[in-house]
Structure 1
Amino acid sequence: MKEDRKVATGNGPPLILDIEDFKGDFSFDALFGNLVNELLPSYQNDDADAAEGNDVLANGNLRIPSDATKAAQGLAMPLFPEVDALLVLFKDSCKELIDLRQQVDERLNSLKKEVSAQDAKHRKTLAELEKGVDGLFDSFARLDSRISSVGQTAAKIGDHLQSADAQRETAVQTVDLIKYLMEFNSTPGDLMELSPLFSDDSRVAEAASIAQKLRSFAEEDIGRKGIGAQPATGNATASRGLEVAVANLQEYCNELENRLLQRFDASSQRRELSTMAECAKILSQFNRGSSAMQHYVATRPMFIDVEIMNADNRLVVGEQGSRASPSDVARGLSSLYKEIADTVRKESATIMAVFPSPNEVMAILVQRVLEQRVTALLDKLLEKPSLMNPPPIEEGGILGYLRMLAVVYEKTQELARDLRAVGCGDLDVEGLTESLFSVHKEEYPEHEQASLRQLFQAKMEELRAESLSDLSGTGSIGRSKGASITSSQQQISVTVVTEFVRWNEEAISRCNIFSFQPAILASNVRAVFTCLLDQVSRYITEGLERAREGLTEAAALRERFVLGTNISRRVAAAAASAAEAAAAAGESSFKSFMVAVQRCASSVALVQQYFANSISRLLLPVDGAHAASCEEMAAAMSKAEAAAYKGLQQCIDTVIAEVERLLSAEQKVTDYRSPDDGIVPDHRPTTACTRVVTYLSRVLEPAFTSLEGLNKQAFLTELVQKLRTP
């Protein structure tokens, strides 16, 4: 509300409220204060004066008038005289507020109409603009289409111009080629009248390219004329003329190629890599550069220097006439192959810098290394032995060849991997390396089995020689006393079987080296393991048979000294002494056979453990191989089981015979006392009983130690049954 506006009284003009008062930061408290400020101050002043008129006591307390005093004052003046003026003011204010609301509503309606009109105008303008934009887009599309059409036309024109230029260039080159071809077509063998291009050393690359094009064209024309077989004279003359050109071109190309090769060699000796690269690039136009590649590889010192090849032999094979061991050869090959790999690596750097197709050159180089340098070493190191007439075991036998083959094969495989790492292009270096050993790997399984048989035969001969040596030293004394018939016989040794297994382990390790495919590996392993089964079966079976021979000889001694009843005392004493010797021989043979059975069981367990730990995992990948080997193992051990069973039967017979002899010699008629005689029974053991028990305790002790499980139970059961049989 404006400051000069007056508040209406009961008879004064009404206040006029302004719309501007309600804009901005409107406050109702401020509006209300502006309306009543001119009326309320008089009321406030009256209250202040009334408060000042009251008496104040001496102690400072206000003296409150009594009710009578208040009544008297109320009759004199009203309590709130401005109330009427305020009511009038509020009524006038309400009317003006209603008027202001009507004014605001009118303005609002006017604004709505104006906004609606402006919106319609805007929509109309927007529609016109959209039509204009659509027209612009259509114009731009037509313009883009025109630009594209013009661009395509320009591209076609450019292609035509480029084609025309290429045709013009081709025509110029063709004219030049025809001119050069006529020069080569002049006189057979005459290359003196050629253009300076073909004799200028600075334009050798261009001359080589043109010569190759001319030769290709002439040879193609001759081939086409030959196929057509035209009878016309002109064609025949042209054909003969081109043949002259072909001959001259061939002669020129050969001369140029030789000249470039000479320049290449001279640059190679001076290590001028840039000149070598230039010559190699030009030579690549002649048979794709094969002559340059072959020539470069063939002139490497490692292939033509005799001293290098002799040094290879001395390093690996040793001095002339000496036989190198596989370990020495392994060290020599490691050193030599490392030197070869380093040499190839150095050559690789030169090849990469010189030749346009370095991978092809590396393939030729690596192939030459394997086929010449490595093959020469293999021929000296690996001499394939004959299976019909193998080398003696003193000279290494077949085993020496196999060990050497394994060492050389592994080291050569390492060289192949090193060469592959250096780089050998598309060459199958692994396949080429395998082909070097194909002759040796074809009969490898047969050589492995022959080696195992040769080792077994040598071992058996060694054991027989030891047995004969022991027999010549102690046999006569032992037999004179009859103490030990088997003292000269060779016992089964677990150490020998362990040696058989060690041979087989070494052979299996070579099978793993030479056999990559599971089927081939399983076949070779099975063949080698079958050799072990045959060796162990033969060895323990022969050992058991030798132990049985002692039992048989003891039984023969017992039968020899069985005499009748009508003999003299002297003869009886001699027979008793001989029977004691036969009994001692039988007991010794019994113990020896039990030891043989125990060692036989240990040997079989050793073979079974070896099969489970080393053989079965190599056979399992092939269906049926594992089961077949188990059947072969059972069949091989069945022979030893049969010999052991027969020997145990003889052991039982030996024990029964000795018990019967002791009872026959020691029992007396007085030892048996019938209860019917009325004599007090004597429970003390008789002499015969004591000797039998002592004998059984002594002789069965090795049986308890040697036999186990069901074997022990069956042996003792049968022995007891025969002892109880009258």
Structure 2
Amino acid sequence: MASSWTLDDFRGEFDEVEFVEKLTQRMGSTASATGAKFDPAPYQASFSRAVAAIDDLERNVTASIAKATKELAVADRAHQRKLKEHGATLDAVLERFARLDRRISSVAQTAVRIGDQLEVIDVAKQRNAYGSKMIGHFLSMTGERAAVPDAFKGQTLDDLREAASTVQALQQAAQDLSRLPNMDHAIKNISNAADEIENRLLKEFDQAWQANHVPGMRACAASLLEFEGGHLIARIIARIIGEVGPNPDPPDSVEQFHSELSRLMDSISNACSKYFPLIAEVFPQPEKVIKPFVERVYEDNITGLLETGVGALSADTNAYLAALEIGFDLNRKLMRSLTAQVEELKLPSDAVLTSFKLALKDHADGLFFQYRDTFISRQFDVLVRDSRSRIDRTLAILPQATDDNPLRSEYAVSITDWIRAVFQTHIVDALLDSFSIALARVDKLAEPSRLPEYVWRIYKTLVEIVNKPFLHRLADSILESMSDEDGGDMVAVENGCTLEFVGCIDAIVQRLNDFFDVEIAKRLQDSLNLLTNCAQERHELTVALESKMSRALRITLDLAMQCSARTLSNLQQKTDFRPKDDQLLPDGSGCSPAASAVVDYIGRHSGSAIAHLRGKNLDCYLHVLGLRLYDLLSNHIRQFVVSNAGALLLMADIRVYQDLVRQFHVSEVNDRFETLRHVVNVFAVPAESLGSLMNDDPVLAVERIPRDDLHSFIKMRSDYKQNNLRKYFA
């Protein structure tokens, strides 16, 4: 019977009533088929037992669940109780840790305070101990026959250095207490002890010197330099001068004097080259040795040889003057050599140079006195005569003025050709070289007290010769060349002659300024009145020339803008920006012919400016050129009605203009043209997008471009009235 059941009979939701009905139905049908009488009692009993077993199982399970629930509740209460106990324990532990941390911090602060107090106490103890020791040493020296303290009897270098420090402190104390009574014995005994220690240190230094032991010399020098008297420095200087050798006998000729003085200078230079590096290694302030050495060698050696040599040759005037010049030149050579050696050591050379000048000052005044006045008078006469002669020869080809044409010579030499020929002579460079030579001679042979006056006279002579007779004459000729009635103005602008000439004038002015800074200002830095006079002469010359050259540049800019305006007027067609067939867009192959011509012209013009102008003149010229070109193009664009198709060509024109002005490297000009590029976008967008463009483009914001200016461009749109674009500015 069991095999008659299938899995499908138990699918879905189980219904016990339906299951019993099916079971009994099958049992009944089986009994009918076999012909046996169906007895349900066994099945009922079996089913009842099964149901009873199920009920028992259910009661057992329910009881187990109830028991487990009670046990869980009991365990949970126990867990919560233990959790509270652990939490309380943890809080207690944390509180104990906090108290411990506070105690540790308090202990640390206390330890720091105790350490500071101990350090102060230790310093005080050390100071007291040092003071007690010094007092003990000082008291031991107060007797008439005082014994030398044991601290001064050390044999090692460290002991000697410590003894030197101690005795120097005692010397200072003795000086401070010298007014007190009964201090004579103490001062004498301390001085004797100091001399003894210094002599022992000098002996140690000599031994280190002989052994070339730099650390030993450095250690001894550090202590010896603290003693008064400078015995160490004097000893070193004497050793170096000993290697220079004695001065020779008075010379019989200029050649012998030259030879002997050269030998002496070379010996001094070689000795310095040998010992200066050693001095720099040994002494913390080597200039304290180098400066006295230079003064000593000039006083004992150089000055002596100069006096004997010049005195021996004084009978022969030419030999006497030659000896003076030889002595001056060789002395400068030695100064350069010693200065170079000092610079290699990275030591301050001002003291050395000052020593040179002071050592030679008295002798130089006497040596050059007899030749001075004659030389100065002749030098000025030759300088003025030769300079004027050079200027006259350079300007000799000046065109002869006629009533018909004042700018053409009778030999058909144009004014521009004449100006260029004059500049090509480089006459100013030649003049400045002559004046530099004159200044150098004055430096060597003039009386030092009158040197500033001579320098001022030379510079004033230079300005008088170069100013009106030459530079202003050239400047006036440049201005005249720009007013040539035969069209010379446009020719000068086209070929860049004016910019070339202005650049030449500017180069000459810069050369004169450099000459002033290098040759004049340095010589007059101690004579402020004369320096002010020379500066005023330079200022008047510069201002007058700058005024004329600025006028020439303004005229050049005006002519360049006029030429550009004519080019735009002649080549720019109305149909460029408003073609007849507005649906036919430009092929994008390039800009308009007018823009191409202007870019080519301004490019050549700016290239000429870059080639000939320099510095602020170039920056200012390109700045003004760029701004005026912007103004010209802005006004030019507002003269044309622009359609959407024409806007594309206009945008191409603006791009080539931008590429041109970027070569100027002027930020303001670049910003102006970048703004113009954004402005012409208003011609390209549809009418319904114009408002969005004005609001979204930051370059078109009110802060960048006033609304009236922007409106003046939008008025030139071909659909301005048709689409009522005025509404954006109402």
Bin for the TM-score computed over the shorter chain: 0.3 to 0.5
Larger relative CO (CA 8 A, sep 6+): 1 or 2? Answer: 1
Tell me the TM-score normalised to structure 1 length: 0.39
Which structure: larger Rg?
1
TM-score (norm 2): 0.38
